[in-house]
Chain A
Amino acid sequence: MGEHWTLFLRNIQEFWRTFRQNKLGMVGGFLVLVATLTAIFAPALTSYDASEIIRDSNNRALTFAPPSVHGILGTDDAGHDVWSQLVYGARISLVVGFMAGFIAMFVGSALGIVAGYFGGKIDSLIMRITDVLLVIPDLPLMLVLVATIRQMELKISPLVVLIIVIGLLYWTSTARLIRSQVLTVKERQFVARARAIGAGHWHIIRKHILPQLMPLIVTNTVLILSTAILIESGLAFLGLGDPTRPSWGTMLNFAFDRSAISNGAWWFYLPPGIAILWVSLGCILLGNVLEEMLNPRLTAHHLEGEAGMIAIAEAESKG
Chain B
Amino acid sequence: MARRDYLLGKFGIALLTLLFVLLLDFILFRVLPGDPIRAVIGRNVRISAEVQESLRAQFGLDKPVFPDQFVDTLGQWAQGNLGVSWSQRKPVSEILISKLWNTLLLIGLGQLLSIVLGAILGLLAGWKRKTPFDVGALTFSLIAWATPTFWLGIILLVAGSTWFGLPTGGIVSPENVGKPLHTVIPDVARHLILPTLTFTILYLGEYMLIMRSSILEVLSEDYILTARAKGMSHFQVLTKHGLRNAMLPMVTIIALNLGFTVSGAIYIETVFSYDGLGNLVQTALVKQDYPLLQGAFLLLAVSVIIANMLADFLYTYLDPRVKAN
Interface of A toward B, CB cutoff 8 Å: 128, 131-132, 134-141, 143-145, 147-148, 151-153, 226, 230, 233-234, 237-240, 249, 252, 256, 261, 266, 269-270, 272-273, 276-277, 280-281, 284-285, 288, 297-304
Contact = CB atoms under 8 A, between A and B. Distances in A.
B301 interface: yes
A234 B281 CA distance: 14
A225 B224 CA distance: 37
Contacts of B293: 143-144, 147
Contact of A261 (B33, B154, B286): B154
Contacts of B242: 303
Size category of the B interface is 35 or more
B157 A273 contact: no
Interface SS majority for chain B = helix
B270 interface: yes
A288 B300 CA distance: 32
A261 B157 CA distance: 9
A139 B262 contact: yes
B220 A233 contact: no
21 contacts: A132-B20, A134-B256, A135-B305, A136-B301, A140-B301, A143-B281, A147-B288, A153-B33, A233-B148, A233-B151, A234-B267, A237-B267, A238-B266, A239-B285, A252-B151, A280-B145, A280-B146, A284-B142, A302-B220, A303-B234, A303-B237
B33 A152 contact: yes
A285 B296 CA distance: 36
A231 to B, nearest CB: 9
A136 B149 CA distance: 20
A138 B263 contact: yes
A304 B129 contact: yes
Contacts of B288: 147, 151
Most B CB contacts (10 A, CB to CB) among A134, A136, A249, A273 go to A136
Nearest to B152: A273
Nearest to A269: B154
A101 to B, nearest CB: 15
B219 A303 contact: yes
Interface stretch (B9-17, B75-83, B173-181, B314-322): B9-17
Given A273-B151, A277-B151, 13 more contacts: A135-B305, A139-B266, A141-B301, A144-B294, A147-B285, A152-B33, A153-B33, A252-B151, A273-B154, A277-B143, A281-B142, A284-B145, A303-B237
Contact of B158 (A132, A140, A261, A285): A261
Interface string B260-278: 1011001100110000000
A292 B253 CA distance: 21
Per DSSP, chain A at the interface is helix
A223 to B, nearest CB: 10
Contacts, number: 166
A302 B224 contact: yes
**Which 9 pairs across A and B sit closest by C-beta, in order of nearness?**
A273-B151, A139-B263, A137-B259, A281-B146, A300-B220, A280-B146, A137-B262, A302-B224, A302-B225
A138 B16 contact: no
Contacts of A226: 146
A270 B270 CA distance: 18
Contacts of A288: 142
Given A148-B28, A148-B290, A301-B216, A238 B148 contact: no
B304 interface: yes
Contact of A276 (B148, B225, B237): B148
B32 interface: yes
B143 to A, nearest CB: 7
A39 to B, nearest CB: 18
Interface string B121-157: 0000001011000000000001101111111001101
A234 B154 contact: no
Interface string B187-229: 0000000000000000000000000010011011100110010
A215 to B, nearest CB: 20
Contacts of B263: 137-140, 234
A147 B290 contact: yes
A122 to B, nearest CB: 17
Contacts of A134: 256
A136 B259 contact: yes
A148 B220 contact: no
